[in-house]
């Protein structure tokens, strides 16, 4: 019977026996089993039978043969792999061929690897880049690779950027990752966010959680057109990107909205805000990470399905909207999350660990919150989850559209710092009034500033 152990024994003895064992097999599954069980290949391994298998008519066999040839490193024969590449139609086999040739680390393979850079398949281009980077680096490799920073494929661009360009980024005078500026700590500014951000230095905040004004849905948010509205948000989130620390998160809460019809002879218009905003964020350096759905009880939302319940006529179906989106983005970086986490000391990491009972899915069932002064406030539970899952103790949490200040109060209660901007004096005063209650805002440390005062503080 074919077992892994038996194959390992044969391999150790020298592999004439493996070649004949393969030739005895009548079914593709057994050939693949042998090829997949070979593991490391010994010095005296004779690969002849592997080259023959490159002509097998089953693609998985060809793939496994290529993989094993790749293990021969410099001893492998490039010619037959290249011959196969020229006529191979199976994508996985083609990619494996380029990977195997790259793993040989032979200077003589350089022209071949450079040719592979022209392939239509971005994964092949990436394999070729890997192969070239593994060779002794010289001017020729660099000359061929650098221009790929403009390659149409984003994966290719990222690899090249990391290899040749990120090290050249000028070393800006920025604070250590876990720290921020004193003049931003527990501050609420009564100003247009874009004005306030003009004095905020690059890489100051660790997390932004916000719910932007809904397009022309409430009195505080009137824009000349939907395009103007999107472009305003684009500016806010591009500035937010600038002030966000490397590799940190932005969570934007929005949902599609409806602008009611002006008369019975017109229709109402629905705007897909989260979907329309998304391309602007990605274009400006935010990597998309997750979509979280905030699910509310049906009784808490406006009834839209009532008409349909009466007439039941198809096309007139209008479901009750019981969801909103929390779109999660990360400031683009070639650094891994581990890099961010390692910027904190062991005690902070320990104290910030998320306790049992955390949400395991991307559907968060949370009751909405109603407020007598502000018409669109975050439930505290929603803020708690976002802040606990996406920041560390001592971090600075930013909300450009502060409203009643839920993000600030929750951040503070969780041992984080906050920085809020709010344009409307009415809501700014409301936050201030809440600060009088020491359980809500600790007013010893919270400062409520006008734009002028804030600018003055930023200069100190």
**What residues from 309 to 338 belong to the interface with ligand SAM (CB under 6 A)?**
none
Residue ranges of E strands in 135-227: 187-190, 205-210
In 3-state terms, what secondary structure has residue 293? strand
Taking the complex as a whole, the smallest distance from the CB of residue 195 to ligand SAM amounts, in Å, to: 8
343 versus 421: smaller Cβ distance to ligand SAM = 421
Task: Please identify, among the stretches 19-27, 244-252, 370-378, 447-455, the one whose residues bind ligand SAM according to the rule CB under 6 A.
Answer: 370-378
Q: 166: which DSSP letter?
A: G
Residue carrying the six token digits 């070729």: 128
Task: Please identify, among the stretches 121-129, 158-166, 389-397, 403-411, the one whose residues bind ligand SAM according to the rule CB under 6 A.
Answer: 403-411
Integer distance in angstroms from the first to the last C-alpha of the chain?
A: 80
Phi, psi of 27, deg, nearest 5: -120, 150
Closest residue to bound ligand SAM by CB: 403
194 versus 341: smaller Cβ distance to ligand SAM = 194
**What residues from 219 to 248 belong to the interface with ligand SAM (CB under 6 A)?**
220-221
310 versus 437: smaller Cβ distance to ligand SAM = 437
Task: Please identify, among the stretches 265-273, 295-303, 390-398, 400-408, the one whose residues bind ligand SAM according to the rule CB under 6 A.
Answer: 400-408
Task: Please identify, among the stretches 36-44, 151-159, 312-320, 369-377, the one whose residues bind ligand SAM according to the rule CB under 6 A.
Answer: 369-377
**What residues from 167 to 196 belong to the interface with ligand SAM (CB under 6 A)?**
192-193
List the x/- string, 202-221, binding to ligand SAM by CB under 6 A: ---------x-x------xx
Taking the complex as a whole, the smallest distance from the CB of residue 354 to ligand SAM amounts, in Å, to: 22
160 versus 193: smaller Cβ distance to ligand SAM = 193
Distances in whole angstroms, Cα of residue 104 to Cα of each of 77, 223, 383: 9, 60, 52
Q: Is 412 an interacting residue with respect to ligand SAM (CB under 6 A)?
A: no
DSSP 38-99: --SPPTT---HHHHHHTT-SSHHHHHHHHHHHHTTGGGS-HHHHHHHHHH---HHHHHHHHH
Q: 353: which DSSP letter?
A: P
Q: Is 377 an interacting residue with respect to ligand SAM (CB under 6 A)?
A: yes
Taking the complex as a whole, the smallest distance from the CB of residue 217 to ligand SAM amounts, in Å, to: 9
In 3-state terms, what secondary structure has residue 208? strand
Residue ranges of E strands in 240-280: 244-254, 257-259, 269-271
Answer for which of 106, 248, 330, 374 binds ligand SAM (CB under 6 A) is 374
Structure tokens at 213: 């004004």
Taking the complex as a whole, the smallest distance from the CB of residue 206 to ligand SAM amounts, in Å, to: 18
Taking the complex as a whole, the smallest distance from the CB of residue 428 to ligand SAM amounts, in Å, to: 9
Handedness of CA 415, 421, 426, 427 (dihedral sign): negative
**What residues from 417 to 436 belong to the interface with ligand SAM (CB under 6 A)?**
421-424, 427
C-beta separation of 95 from 66 below 8 A: no
154 versus 231: smaller Cβ distance to ligand SAM = 231
Taking the complex as a whole, the smallest distance from the CB of residue 257 to ligand SAM amounts, in Å, to: 11
Answer for which of 378, 390, 441, 448 binds ligand SAM (CB under 6 A) is 378
In 3-state terms, what secondary structure has residue 241? helix
Taking the complex as a whole, the smallest distance from the CB of residue 273 to ligand SAM amounts, in Å, to: 12
The count of C-alpha atoms lying within 13 angstroms of the C-alpha of 173, restricted to the half-sphere facing its C-beta, is: 2
34 versus 326: smaller Cβ distance to ligand SAM = 326
C-beta pairs of 39-45 under 8 Å, 24+ apart in sequence: 39/8, 39/11, 40/71, 41/11, 41/68, 41/71, 41/72, 42/11, 42/12, 44/14, 44/15, 45/11, 45/15, 45/72
38 versus 411: smaller Cβ distance to ligand SAM = 411
Q: Buried (b) or exposed (e) across 304-320, using 16+ Cβ within 10 A? A: eeeeeeeeeeeeeeeee
What interhelical angle do 380-390 and 406-413 show, nearest 10? 60
Residue ranges of E strands in 79-159: none
Answer for which of 145, 403, 409, 417 binds ligand SAM (CB under 6 A) is 403
Answer for which of 333, 340, 352, 406 binds ligand SAM (CB under 6 A) is 406
Size, binding site for ligand SAM by CB under 6 A: 19
C-beta separation of 25 from 35 below 8 A: no
Footprint of ligand SAM (CB under 6 A): 192-193, 211, 213, 220-221, 374, 376-378, 401, 403-404, 406, 421-424, 427
């Amino acid at each position: 019977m074919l077992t892994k152990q038996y194959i390992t024994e044969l391999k150790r003895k020298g592999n004439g026996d493996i070649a004949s064992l393969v030739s005895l097999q009548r079914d593709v599954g057994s050939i693949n089993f042998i090829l997949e069980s070979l593991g490391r290949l010994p010095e005296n391994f004779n690969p002849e039978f592997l080259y023959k298998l490159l002509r097998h008519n089953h693609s998985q066999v060809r793939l496994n043969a290529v993989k094993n040839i790749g293990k021969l490193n410099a001893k492998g024969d490039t010619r037959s792999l290249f011959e196969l590449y020229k006529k191979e139609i199976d994508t996985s086999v083609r990619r494996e061929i380029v990977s195997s040739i790259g793993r040989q680390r032979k200077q003589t393979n350089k022209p071949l690897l450079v040719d592979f850079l022209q392939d239509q398949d971005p994964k092949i281009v990436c394999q070729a880049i890997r192969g070239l980077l593994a060779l002794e680096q010289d001017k020729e490799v660099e000359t061929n690779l650098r221009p790929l920073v403009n390659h149409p494929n984003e994966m290719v661009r990222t690899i090249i950027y990391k290899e040749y360009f990120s090290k050249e980024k000028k070393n800006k005078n920025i604070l250590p990752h876990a720290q921020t500026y004193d003049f931003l700590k527990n501050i609420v500014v009564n100003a247009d966010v874009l004005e306030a951000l003009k004095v905020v230095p690059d890489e100051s905040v660790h997390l932004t959680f916000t719910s932007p004004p809904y397009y022309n849905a409430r009195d505080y948010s009137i824009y000349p057109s939907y395009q103007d509205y999107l472009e305003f948000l684009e500016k806010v989130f591009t500035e937010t990107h600038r002030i966000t620390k490397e590799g940190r998160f932005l969570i934007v809460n929005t949902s599609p909205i409806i602008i009611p019809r002006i008369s019975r002879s017109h229709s109402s218009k629905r705007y897909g805000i989260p979907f329309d905003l998304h391309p602007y964020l990605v274009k400006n350096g935010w990597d998309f990470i997750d979509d979280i759905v905030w699910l509310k009880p049906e009784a808490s939302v406006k009834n839209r399905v009532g008409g349909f319940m009466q007439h039941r006529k198809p096309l007139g179906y209008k479901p009750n909207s019981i969801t909103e989106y929390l779109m999660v983005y990360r400031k683009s970086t070639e650094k891994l999350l581990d890099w961010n986490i390692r910027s904190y000391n062991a005690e902070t990491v320990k104290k910030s660990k998320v306790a049992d009972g955390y949400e395991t899915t991307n559907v968060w069932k949370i009751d909405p919150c109603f407020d007598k002064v502000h018409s669109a406030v975050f439930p505290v539970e929603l803020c708690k989850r976002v802040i606990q899952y996406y920041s560390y103790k001592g971090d600075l949490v930013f909300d450009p559209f502060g409203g009643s200040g839920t993000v600030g109060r929750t951040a503070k209660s969780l041992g984080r710092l906050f920085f809020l901007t709010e344009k409307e004096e009415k809501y700014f005063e409301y936050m201030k009034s809440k600060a009088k209650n020491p359980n809500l805002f600790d007013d010893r440390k919270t400062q409520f500033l006008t734009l002028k005062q804030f600018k003055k503080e930023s200069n100190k």
